[in-house]
Amino acid sequence: MTDKDETILSAVDVTKTFDGIRALEDVSFGVKAGHIKALIGPNGAGKTTLLNAINGILPPDRGHIHFLGHDVVGQTADRVAALGLSRTFQLIRMFTINNATVLDNVLLGAHMRLHPNIFESIFRRGKVDKAEREARDRAMELLKFVGLEKAAGAMPGSLPFGNQRLVELARSLMTDPRMLLLDEPASGLNDTEVEGFTELLRAIRQKGITILLVEHNMKLVMNIADDIVVLDFGKKLAEGTPQSICANPEVIEAYLGTAQKECGFEP
């Protein structure tokens, strides 16, 4: 069991260069177990690159990243995921091969816990054994958790955009993660959907799952994050509580503009 004050993820002096341009330069921060930490900053600040470095898609050129005491630099994305780090992406990834349903898409998240032959049989819809039944039951529980149990048999492409985001979230939870990396999860959602998603994030945190969130919706960030890291041109500009970040003159100048409005606080 992880102590709530334990740092579950730490990044130290993370640097990444593309064609001579530094996308990240000596970025350091930590995330405590059970917290929701937000990464914010202008487009091109390096936020998604940092997530990619953490989960093994694009290893950093320099620096250290530890998750649950494991050095994950140089590990493959699958290996990092097996340690308990799950990820969603800015662009929704729905699978439709072999008429895959919403339920099938969520079941894809079980690939690390199911034997390959069992996993393949899900999509052949053959004889259902104990492992498959358990996986399907878990997938249905997660669809109910995100409010989509009635859409289990639907084609994912038929769902509204916001519901497709929820399918992706349910799929990421299917791995039983210790920590979630969420890249722009509220992108494209309307105000009502954002409110519902905010409550869902709180419910996920109540389950003991730590969250690292990249998000441009400042009202969501300020209402949900325990603390925030601000990136600008690949460097860490500031780190602190939502209140301190919202009042930081450098952050206001680089990103927030009118602090009271952009932070979503009531006058």
pLDDT in tens, 142-158: 999 999 999 999 999 89
**0.75 exceeded by the pTM?**
yes
**C-beta of residue 226 within 8 angstroms of C-beta of residue 31:** no
Q: Are residues 108 and 218 in the same domain?
A: no
- Taking 50 as the pLDDT cut, the residues of the chain under it are 1, 115-116, 118, 127, 258-259, 266-267
209 and 156 in a single domain? The answer is no
Quick one: DSSP state of residue 243? H
Q: Answer yes or no: do 181 and 77 share one domain.
A: yes
Task: Check which CATH number belongs to the domain holding 213 and give it.
Answer: 3.40.50.300
The sheet that has 62-67: what strands, in order across it?
21-32, 7-18, 62-67, 70-71
Q: Which domain holds residue 68?
A: 1-84+177-267
Side chain identity at residue 58, one-letter code: L
The strand pairing partners of 232, in sequence order, are: 235
- Of 112, 135, 113, the C-alpha closest to 123 is 135
Q: Do 230 and 239 touch, CB atoms closer than 8 A?
A: yes
Residues 138 and 183 in one domain: no
Q: Looking at this protein, which amino acid is placed at residue 211?
A: I
- pLDDT on residue 97: 75
Residue that finishes a domain, picked among 175, 206, 222? 175
**Strand-strand pairing, 227-232 and 36-40:** parallel
CA triplet 237, 181, 197: central angle to 5 degrees?
Answer: 100
pLDDT of 265 reads: 54
Q: What is the pLDDT of residue 181?
A: 96
| Nearest-angstrom CA–CA distance, 48 and 54 | 10
Q: 264 and 193 in one domain?
A: yes
Domain end (from 151, 175, 199):
175
Note whether 169 and 184 are within 8 A (CB). no
At 266 the pLDDT is 45
Indicate the residue type of 93.
R
Structurally, how many domains does the chain consist of? 2
Collect all residues with Cβ–Cβ distance below 8 Å to 18 and sequence separation of at least 6.
none
4 & 80 share domain: yes
Domain-terminating residue out of 175, 191, 214: 175
Check whether residue 204 and residue 246 sit in a common domain: yes
Asked whether residue 220 falls in the same domain as residue 197, the answer is: yes
Q: At what angle do helices 130-145 and 161-173 cross, to 10 degrees?
A: 130
Element (H, E) at 228: strand 227-232
234 in the same domain as 152: no
